[in-house]
Amino acid sequence: MKAWIIHKICDLTVENNPLEITEMSRPEPGEGELLLKVSACGVCHTEIDEIEGRTPPPVYPVIPGHQVIGVIEETSGYDQAFRTGDRVGVAWIYNACGSCEYCLSGQENLCRDFKATGRDAHGGYAEYMIVPAEFVYKIPDLFSDAEAAPLLCAGAIGYRSVALCNMKNGSILGLTGFGASAHLVVKLVRHRYPGSGIFVFARSEKEREFALHLGCDWAGDTTDKPPEMADCIIDTTPAWLPVVEALNCLKPGGRLVINAIRKESTDKNHLLNMDYSSHLWMEKEIKSVANVTRKDVEEFINIAAEMSFKPETEIYPFAEANRAIMDIKQRRIRGAKVLIL
């Protein structure tokens, strides 16, 4: 089978083709596993974090990709919820131990043995992949393959981020950065929290224009001040400056939710400018988002189906995986990017 692999850490400001195409043997499913023929895979900034070494794979080479849509080809005797021919999805959570205190309390995203698709196990930038049967999701017919793929990460992690914001009807939500996850958050918040305001902070003029096109109430640069302070802000950027600036724009008692698996170190000097009295005092909070649970993914897919909302997508042929990666690195973003096989 054809597959794109990460074979080493590299600097994307220097390397324009970080992924290598190769021929690999088709994987064979073991007990409790499914073999999928992949039809689509979303492209995420987390792939960049893997390539540049902020969240490196434990072994090389590895096939990246964790927003996978495919059809079950083999079940390896597994005959419970899924059948050959079913269309299913695979998300960032590839596996967890199932027996630790976190797994038993519904917090499998915090499991010490959490395994990530496309980092700790081969992912969806390939013609085939295997996955534990308990970690796949049925995909409603409403969505095409390209539309379904972003729901599995951009949508699910956005859903978890909103839940951590403790929003109410009429709350003001800020979004720093406006990529695949943030544009789905807008659709979710408009549906679930009537009367809420949405302010967007983005350094890209095109991202700001896209935010306003989707009905956001205000859009400005990262350092601009919004018309009023926010109750909560979700940061989806890889940088530190938006964190400091977001804290400046929170109401007393407000919460900043950081939705990023890792932060780049290039601008961490901005943290030296953090001032306790203006950034953190008055009971402001900072909370991180760590991975997702199966419940997050399942619930968001169901909500998206009930609402009949679909991601804005930009489709790339499978052969152009490197171009999709570099477009994200260079902030050429409008909605979610998806590879089609």
For residue 267, what pLDDT band results from cuts at 50, 70 and 90?
confident
pLDDT at 79: 58
Tokens standing for residue 73: 């080809």
For residue 22, what pLDDT band results from cuts at 50, 70 and 90?
very high
Q: Check pLDDT > 80 for residue 34.
A: yes
Condensed to tens digits (0 to 9), the pLDDT of residues 61-113 reads 999 999 999 999 998 765 578 889 999 999 999 999 999 999 999 999 999 99
Condensed to tens digits (0 to 9), the pLDDT of residues 203-260 reads 999 999 999 999 999 999 999 999 999 999 999 998 899 999 999 999 999 999 999 8
Q: What would you report as the CA-atom Rg of the chain, rounded to the nearest whole angstrom?
A: 20
CA gap 190, 138 in Å, rounded: 25
pLDDT at 265: 78
pLDDT at 333: 84
DSSP code, position 18: -
With contact defined as beta carbons under 8 Å apart, do 68 and 29 qualify?
Answer: no
pLDDT at 334: 85
Q: Check pLDDT > 90 for residue 173.
A: yes
Q: Cα–Cα distances in Å, from 304 out to 89, 98, 223, 264?
A: 14, 27, 32, 31
pLDDT at 170: 95
Condensed to tens digits (0 to 9), the pLDDT of residues 112-139 reads 999 999 999 999 999 999 999 999 999 9
Tokens standing for residue 15: 């390397």
CA gap 110, 149 in Å, rounded: 23
CA gap 248, 236 in Å, rounded: 17
What domains can be seen in the chain, in order of their start residue? 2-153+292-340 (3.90.180.10), 156-288 (3.40.50.720)
Condensed to tens digits (0 to 9), the pLDDT of residues 223-232 reads 999 999 999 9
Q: Mean pLDDT for the chain?
A: 94
pLDDT at 261: 86
